[in-house]
Amino acid sequence: MDYISKLPDCILSYILTMLSMKDLLKTTILSKRWCKLWGLRRDLYFDVFNVFGTQNQLLHIIDMDMSRDEFVTRVHQFLNNFHGTKIDSFLVNFFLKREQSSTINQWLSFAIARGVQRIDLLLLGLPYGNDNTRCKLYKFDFALFAYTNASTLYHLSLQHCVVFHPINSDFILPFKCLRYLSLRSAKVDKMFIECLLSNCLLLEEFYLLYCVLKSLKLKIVSSSLRHLKVIGCYTVSHIILGIQDVKKQDDVKLILLDCPKLTSLAYDAHDLDTMKINTPMLNSIQFSISFKRDLNAFVAICATFTQLEIMHLTTLAMVTTSLPITQPLKHLKELNLDVSVPSYILNDEEYDPLWILNILQASPLLHKLSVMFVYQEFFEDQKDIRDVETFCHENVKVIELGGCVGNWFEIEFVMNVLKSAHKLERIVLSPYWREDEELDWNSNPDWFQRGRDRIIEKFQGEEVVGREKLVLI
């Protein structure tokens, strides 16, 4: 007896969502009823797994050029058999370029006509492929929305596209309900950003990630924006060196940030001393700082963030030699520090690796402190452990040190924290570190060869109050 056919449409439709597109297309020859059930799908996702259908193809980088035609054919076949009248979300994650513009526009028109609310056009194809060609990027066509109800769109994510304001000066961006926009590895012009911020009055999240901009200076002015990321953006210019035409890249600088409702900001900070900022509601920041002048300006700016509770700072050990904490971070509750530690810096007599204790002292309400040392090496000429100026901290409960190798200042830091942090529940030392959240974890073998044992030996030989709170990974 065919028990499956007796199931109600809602259950059968749910079962079909578990199938890849490749397997789903096979059901058309089994039952016309099953084919019609496709129309109940509201979320259409087209990536390597859903189109090609086997887990094995996720385990290696596929040949995008060989697979592109097959990918396009299968998506076309699916859409031609799809009878649904309503779509909530539409995702394409594959390595496509400008030569596929007509195809991409057909797919987008299909989704727009069905009132799509969320579009993700991820044309890098990650993590299944890498772009190492010079083919032209697909140019996002705003005209697709001109004759349809684009007001349904609230989420738009574009990757590896050209996003320029149309030449028509009378053009009005048709995204009145847009709340989320992410542009990654895209080419973007200044006029589009200005048009976006002035027309999309409901926009709450805006992310510019590793984009090529036409203007070196960026202004963000919005009365609705709550979350902003400007990471890795740059301009490209050409200079002549002899007879060669050389490309020159310059980091984009955020010169004006006027967003009264902004609560979170991520920015690889450049020229902070000249940036004008108005963000009275800001409570979470993620900054990447490479120069001492920007670090000093960063500390001054932090004093103006009266609601700041969460901070993530990525910096170099060389610029932290004299970190000035001029005012307490009164509301800070969570602090994450990623510190690159070049081997030569530990030989510098002016460098004090315990500068982190200064931040701890300046953050009286801090609950959690996470520090990750990047590229740290074991220092052969170990100093004697010493005490620093005594202080008390009544709120910090969890401290994590990543990228440890067993250096003297790691031990000294732990000893001083155990004495000073009266509410501490645990302090965890781990060898693992990574440069970015999207990258794999690394560790230094020195930790397992001698660093971990050195710390154990030191704490066994000392009368240290609270050493039961120490956890070694």
Q: How confident is the model at residue 169 (pLDDT cuts 50, 70, 90)?
A: low
Which H, E and C letters describe 170-217, residue by residue?
A: CCCCCCCCCCEEEEECCEECHHHHHHHHHHCCCCCEEEEECCEECCCE
CA angle 96, 98, 100 (to 5 degrees): 60
Average pLDDT, the chain: 83
Structure confidence at residue 66 as a pLDDT band (50, 70, 90):
low
pLDDT exceeds 90 at position 346: no
Structure letter (DSSP) for residue 295: H
Q: Where are the domains of the chain?
A: 1-41, 42-203, 283-473
- Those residues whose C-beta lies under 8 Å from the C-beta of residue 32, and which sit 6 or more positions away, are none
Residue 367 pLDDT greater than 80, yes or no: yes
Backbone angles phi, psi at 29, to 5 degrees: -85, -10
As a whole number of angstroms, the distance between CA 31 and CA 1 comes to 16
Q: Tell me what the mean pLDDT of segment 162-172 comes to.
A: 80
Please compute the mean of the pLDDT values over residues 12-38 and round it to a whole number.
Answer: 63
Residue 257: per-residue pLDDT: 94
The answer to whether residue 188 scores a pLDDT higher than 80 is yes
Mean pLDDT, residues 34-51 taken together = 75
Do residues 367 and 395 touch, judged by C-beta distance below 8 A? yes
pLDDT at 266: 96
CATH for 42-203?
3.80.10
pLDDT in tens, 70-102: 889 889 988 888 888 889 999 999 888 898 999
Sheet holding 276-278, edge to edge: 217-221, 253-258, 276-278
Q: Which residues contact 383 (CB under 8 A, 6 or more apart)?
A: 408, 409
| pLDDT above 60: residue 58 | no
